Amino acid sequence: MNFYRFTDSLGTITSQSNECPHCRTAVRVSNGGCLRCLLQAGLTEDEDPGSESLDAFLSEME
């Protein structure tokens, strides 16, 4: 397998494993977060945030 172009286009291949202390997988995304934990977060469904929304809060911030 040719890793050169593959690496360029699909992400970074590192020599270290950088294992997540919570789930022990070693795949990270752009913000340095663990891919599996970030996915797992989606399994919690929120109630309608209504006026509590991020958008509204950011607008109100000084």
Partner 1 sequence: MSSTPGNEATSRPGAFVTTRWSLVLSGANSKSQEKDTHAALAELCRIYWRPIFAFVSRRGYSAEDAEDLTQDFFVMILEGDWLQKANPSRGRFRSLLLKSLQNFLSDAADKTYTRKRGGDVSFVSWDAWMAEAPSELSMSTQTVQSLPAERLFDVQWAATVVERALRRLRDECERKGRLRVFDALSAYLIAERDDVSCASLAATLGVPQGTVKKLLYRMRQRYRWLLRDEVAQTVENPADIEDELRHLCGALAASSEQAR
Task: Decide: helix, strand or coil at residue 34.
Answer: strand
CB 30 within 8 A of CB 47: no
Q: Does residue number 51 form part of the binding site for partner 1 (CB under 8 A)?
A: no
Please tell me whether residue 43 binds partner 1 under the rule CB under 8 A. Answer: yes
Q: How far is the CB of 7 from partner 1 (least distance, A)?
A: 9
Here's the x/- map for partner 1, 21-40, by CB under 8 A: it reads as -xxxxxxxxxxxxxxxxxxx
How far apart CA 19 and CA 8 sit, in angstroms, is 22
Q: Do residues 3 and 9 lie in contact, with contact meaning Cβ atoms separated by under 8 Å?
A: no
- Which chain residues interact with partner 1 by CB under 8 A? 1-6, 8-19, 22-49, 52-55, 57-59, 61-62
